[in-house]
Structure 1
């Protein structure tokens, strides 16, 4: 789900996507209980253990104890399988009920999105960046747009604010699940070594900021980014509402 392409024309169903191939291959004994949900669950389990790079039709089939060809009755191939994983995680996001406060609701969604991502961190990049082929994973997008519209944003402005919000949250989460920060470390030993290197760099700005650059805490960084972007979005939404009321009084 790339944040710059969240409004697209999509097929209507994740469970039975158009163009699903005709059945091929003979499943192994016992494969009659195979379902799309079981395949997605096995894939998520595999990703949790080995990462996305460990996923193939054969590795998933091996985990389920079936012939790899039998998976094609439910997914078109690896790309379709990875789409299904991203859609499953996004569609299952336990979104909090709106409170009527734009600030409160956006913060709650951001924190819920992070918790869901960290529940399967090795699938994080997949969920955060994949452009989905169905509407199944767009429920969070619809919720944010609905909240922005309820706050008085016009559709075009709501989309701009949505994409800006996603860019910040996704960027912060990608850094958390895929790599360490550009500067800083999580463990104290590495933090001390990094601080020493920065203080010895001879670059004045780095030396001055060394204690802060050397320290990194994912919770603090996420909350700072979330506060910054939600404050900006909330302010922009309020400005847009005032402008619209001025242009269309009464």
Structure 2
């Protein structure tokens, strides 16, 4: 813990330089995190130093090779940078720029061709990836269109369902109100019937004149009328005969007695 804390403090002092190091809570977690950051920073600084040294060496090599080529051109051919025409100087500058863009060591054809081939391969891969992305994009657009259509249909279904639910809720509420009214009315009628029955019972009403008894008597009368029909048909041939006064008198007396008994 103390060793890590000392390393963290030295690293923070190096990072902030003349500025004061911000205060932080010293605990195991913060010290471990800062120690990891210090190690990562030192590793990156070491890699950067190595890369810088390599670039310096390459720059020195390029300068030496350039000086050698200038000497060859000057001593062997008698050409110098100042003796070149402007178009030639422009061509040389363009050639150098292309070499720098391609990242080749020199401007020879043997260096340019592999670099161009690599760029061509990268271009073909990029075009292939672009076509793949276009296909995926078209597929995504189709799925997006289908999803939007489905979303619109769902919204319409939800809207219709909400309206239908509102109508059904109104109908159910109306039915509940009607049911409450009918229930209250039925209770009221039942109470009235009970009071009426109690009132009739207190008055010793004859049950033979109740509605139920009258309905039953009416049904019996209707049945008797149906039974009398065939008897009337049997008596029709005798209706034209002259009546016997004594027998008629007897029948009249029987009918009077039956009427009195009824």
Measured against the shorter chain, the TM-score band is: under 0.3
Q: TM-score, normalised by structure 2?
A: 0.15
Larger relative CO (CA 8 A, sep 6+): 1 or 2?
A: 1
Q: TM-score, normalised by structure 1?
A: 0.16
**Which structure has the larger Rg?**
2
